[in-house]
Amino acid sequence: MPKVTVIIPNYNHVRYLPKRIESVLHQTEQDIEVLLLDDCSPDNSREVITQYAAQDDRIKLVFNEENSGSTFHQWNKGIALAQGEYIWIAESDDYADPVLLETLLRPMEKDSTIGLAYCESQMIDENNNALGIHYIMPKELDGALLKQDFIIDGIELVKQFMSFCNIVPNASGVLIRRSVLDQVGPADASYRLVGDWLFWAKIMATSKVAFVTTPLNYFRQHTNNVRSSTLRNGLALVEEARVMKVIKAFGEPNAINYEMKIENILGKWFYAFISNHAMPFSLHRELYQKLCDLEPSFPRRFAKYFFSTLIENKFSGLRQLVGDGILKRILSK
């Protein structure tokens, strides 16, 4: 059996595939199998993938006959086929430093209770230009953990931070123990955007987590992707509210960070309500219901926030609502 199964789920990333695949094959840890999955890409990804498979017998090809519609379906498919003791989901548009696997394996092989190890990521653009470090925690949170490597009980990370944000920014920088995945089950493919957030939280809730501050993963940023579109149409907010309820069930979250997250969602939602015409009314209703499920007192909170925001700054919110926002759309029909 290979020590590590590397899952490369590809969709339409032929431009980045050579750098991705070569960064996997040239790892200093060579005891690997590579599952190259293609989700019915319309570009010539399969031609490139097939060429690499012909050169290295560690590569196995898994081609879909039709598009699965979800990154997380592909994750689950790869995990079900994996034979390794550890799993690395290496996204097809990212790439890695040659010592990434070796570095993340080190703490996991010393301590069998570590279920997830990950490293800091260097952000890059579509032309491989460096954009800076993608720190695991935003400035609103206590950044003490950022300054050193750590090994900690994952449930503490869940309760302290995961109700505010996903502190595992990129799957490509993560190594997972297969036996823990057998415990927690597959990623929830009903999510469009934040299924990884919930996936990491489930793993953290059952095991220790190791973090390495060295940026060994290169996390590609795109100008037009699924994340940007789901943020515009409001689906990301609905999914965040869903995740918060599940994470809350793991234990009472940090009160300050939890409150900041509710305020964060309200702020984005209000902006979408008066300015962003891409969010359909059905998602407005769904988000309201999800937040009511999360917090029984939410209706009162929502009313207070809504009306206070409309009248602040000399009624600028109300003027925008009437002049440029949703009321204008309704009255113009």
Rounded Cα distance between 163 and 157, Å, is: 9
Banded model confidence at residue 176, pLDDT cuts 50, 70, 90? very high
CATH architecture of residue range(s) 4-223 = Alpha-Beta Complex (3.90)
Mean pLDDT, to the nearest integer, of 200-211? 97
Per-residue model confidence (pLDDT) at position 331? 38
Helix (H), strand (E) at residue 191: none
Per-residue model confidence (pLDDT) at position 301? 86
Q: C-alpha distances in angstroms, 294 versus 190, 249, 307, 330?
A: 19, 10, 21, 30
Tokens of 75: 């994750």
The residue among 165, 148, 126 whose CA lies nearest residue 258 is: 165
Q: Residues with Cβ < 8 Å from 4, sequence gap 6 or more? A: 29, 31, 32, 33, 84, 85, 86, 87, 88, 101, 105, 175
Q: Residues with Cβ < 8 Å from 21, sequence gap 6 or more? A: 8, 34, 36, 49, 52
Give residue-wise pLDDT tens across range 235-265: 889 999 999 999 999 999 999 999 999 988 9
Per-residue model confidence (pLDDT) at position 307? 77
Percent of the chain with pLDDT over 70: 85
Strand partners, 10: 38
Domain boundaries, the chain: 4-223, 227-332
Per-residue model confidence (pLDDT) at position 305? 80
Mean pLDDT, to the nearest integer, of 66-85? 95
| Predicted model pTM | 0.88
Mean pLDDT, to the nearest integer, of 27-38? 98
